[in-house]
Amino acid sequence: MNEDQVLLIDKPAGITSFGVVARVRRRMSEVAGHKVKVGHTGTLDPFATGLMIIVTGKECRNAGNYSKLDKVYEATFRLGQTSSTGDPEGEITEVSEEQPGLAQIEDALAQFRGEITQRPPAFSAIKINGQRAYKLARQGEVVIVPERQVTVFSLDLIDYSYPELRVRAHVSSGTYIRSLAEDIGKVLGTGAYCSELRRTEISEWSVKDAEAIEK
C-alpha cells in the first residue's frame, strides 16, 4: 500500500472533518500494520457534505498548499430566520415574514461578488488567543472574530422558492458560506442562515471524482 497519497473523499453530513481523518487513519493503519499519518486540507462543517482532500504519509507536508486553493460550493439559504451558529444546528430565531422578489434577490447577490469584507462565524475553527473560536463560543463567551478580505469570484442563483434560496459560489480560501448567508439576509432585511452546504470543487478537483467514506 502506498502510504503517501492524496485522497478525494465525499464527506457525508453528520460527521466532522476530524472524524473523516480518524476513519481514514484507522483503516490505513490497519492495512499498513502501523500508524499512518493522515491530515486534511480544510474543514467542512458537520452539517455540510462534499469534497475533502485528505493527505497521508509524506503528502501531509503539502497540506498547506491545498488549503489555500479556491473552492466551489452549492448552498441553500433559508430566509426569514437566523441561527446562532449560521447553520441548522444552532438556535433558530424568527426574524421576518417578508418575501423578497426575484429582483431583490439578484440585487442582493450582486453586492457580494468580487472582493468583500467578511467576519467569520464565532462558531468556527479559527483560533482566538490560541483557542478554537467554537470552543470559546460553546463556553458562553462572546467571541468576535476579526474581519478579513475574501474574494467571491462568482455567486449565481440556482433556484429561489421562498423561503429557500439556492446558490452556487466560487470563492477564495477562507470564505465562510455561513457568513455569506447571514450577510445576504441582512441586506434583504429578512435574516438568513445556511441550511444546506455542499463543496463540489477545490481548484481542479471535483467531488465527482471523490470516494464515499465507507468505500
pLDDT at 210 over 90: yes
pLDDT in tens, 85-135: 889 988 899 999 999 999 999 999 999 999 999 987 766 566 666 666 556
Residues 186, 82 within the same domain: yes
Note if the bond before 163 is cis, omega within 30 degrees.
Answer: yes
Q: What are phi and psi of 63, to 5 degrees?
A: -55, -40
All three cell numbers of 156, joined, read 449565481
Say what the pLDDT of residue 214 is: 82
Confidence of residue 146 (pLDDT cuts 50, 70, 90): confident
Predicted local distance difference test score (pLDDT) of residue 43: 86
Domain count, the chain: 2
What are phi and psi for residue 26, nearest 5 degrees? -60, -45
Q: What's the DSSP call for residue 104? A: H
Q: Is residue 1 part of a domain?
A: no
What average pLDDT does the segment 140-161 reach? 86
Supply the CATH number for residue 156's domain. Answer: 3.30.2350.10
pLDDT of the residue at 141: 60
Say yes or no: 52 and 90 in one domain: no
Q: Which residue type occupies 152? A: V
Other CB atoms within a 10 A radius of the CB of residue 202 amount to 23
Both 88 and 173 in a single domain?
yes
Helix H segments across the chain? 17-32, 63-67, 102-110, 133-138, 177-188
Q: What is the average pLDDT across 1-26?
A: 92
Q: Do both 115 and 165 map to the same domain?
A: yes
One domain for residues 23 and 82: no
Asked whether residue 190 carries a pLDDT value surpassing 80, the answer given is yes
Told to judge if 159 belongs to the known catalytic residues of this protein, a careful annotator would answer no
Record the cell numbers describing residue 145, joined without a space: 472574530
In this structure, the answer to whether residues 194 and 127 fall within a common structural domain is yes
Residue 23 belongs to what domain range?
A: 6-68+205-212
What pLDDT is attached to residue 122?
60
Instruction: Report the C-alpha gap between 11 and 174 in whole angstroms.
Output: 19
Q: How confident is the model at residue 148 (pLDDT cuts 50, 70, 90)?
A: confident
Mean pLDDT score, 187-208: 97
- Looking at residue 158, the DSSP 8-state letter turns out to be E
Rounded mean pLDDT of 167-185?
95
Over the stretch 65-84, which tens digit does the pLDDT of each residue have?
A: 998 999 999 999 999 999 98
Are 30 and 101 in a shared domain? no
Choose the catalytic residue: 4, 10, 45, 183: 45
Per-residue confidence (pLDDT) for residue 144, from 0 to 100: 67
| Same-domain check for residues 44 and 99 | no
Average pLDDT over the chain, rounded to whole?
A: 90
Domain assignment of residue 148, yes or no:
yes
82 plus 178 within the same structural domain: yes
Q: What is the pLDDT of residue 132?
A: 63
